[in-house]
Amino acid sequence: MISKKVQDALNNQINAELYSAYLYYSMQAYFEELNLTGFANWMGIQVQEELAHTAKFTKFINERGGRVIPKAIECPPIEWESPAAAFEATYAHEQAVSASINNLVDIAIAENDHASKIFLDWFVSEQVEEEASVNAVVQKMKLMKDSPHGLFMIDRELAQRVFTPPADQTT
């Protein structure tokens, strides 16, 4: 059985994952409006990943005898100063998600909840990948500065990204 403290923290993380999906959905729309379809594709993949994370948390809470309690999702921003600014905001957001996951691990440890700790280890590793992936785009954007040609090269590269569900995820 999952403790109320861990259940509440995981429910807060579900809300954070859904906000992340909503934020990336907003960014996807922003990039589509700019006709940067590769950037939009990259964000669309992020939306799918965040929803997959939400499903993992939901399944885990249910398997542990807990209850998923939906909460209101904050409205995300709808525009950014530039594509580079959107990716810098994405990087900052992923760093905040990493801190949130680390906090969940701390709670699981404090509650002596080994099952939750083991479950959360996957998310710790996932966040290392998430930050590195976003930072790679941020660094490329910095290198290209204001080059329209560079922007379209990055757009073409980001169009190649495909969604790969987590190994234990069937949706």
Indicate if the pLDDT at residue 13 is higher than 70.
yes
Q: How many structural domains compose the chain?
A: 1
The pLDDT score that the predictor gives to residue 74 is 97
User: 3-state DSSP: the chain helix, strand, coil percent, rounded to 5?
Assistant: 75, 0, 25
Domain assignment present for residue 164? The answer is no
Residue 121 one-letter amino acid: D
Domain assignment present for residue 22? The answer is yes
Domain assignment present for residue 98? The answer is yes
Domain assignment present for residue 107? The answer is yes
Residues 54-90: tens digit of each pLDDT: 999 999 999 999 999 999 999 999 999 999 999 999 9
What letter does residue 130 receive in the DSSP assignment? H
Q: What is the CATH number of the domain that holds 141?
A: 1.20.1260.10
> Nearest 5°: CA angle at 11, between 45 and 78?
45
Indicate if the pLDDT at residue 170 is higher than 50.
no
pTM above 0.95, yes or no: no
Domain assignment present for residue 45? The answer is yes
Q: Which residue in this structure is represented by tokens 């509440």?
A: 8
Domain assignment present for residue 77? The answer is yes
Domain assignment present for residue 144? The answer is yes
Domain assignment present for residue 167? The answer is no
Confidence at 167, pLDDT banded by 50, 70, 90: confident
Q: Where in the sequence is the domain holding 18, given as residue range(s)?
A: 4-158
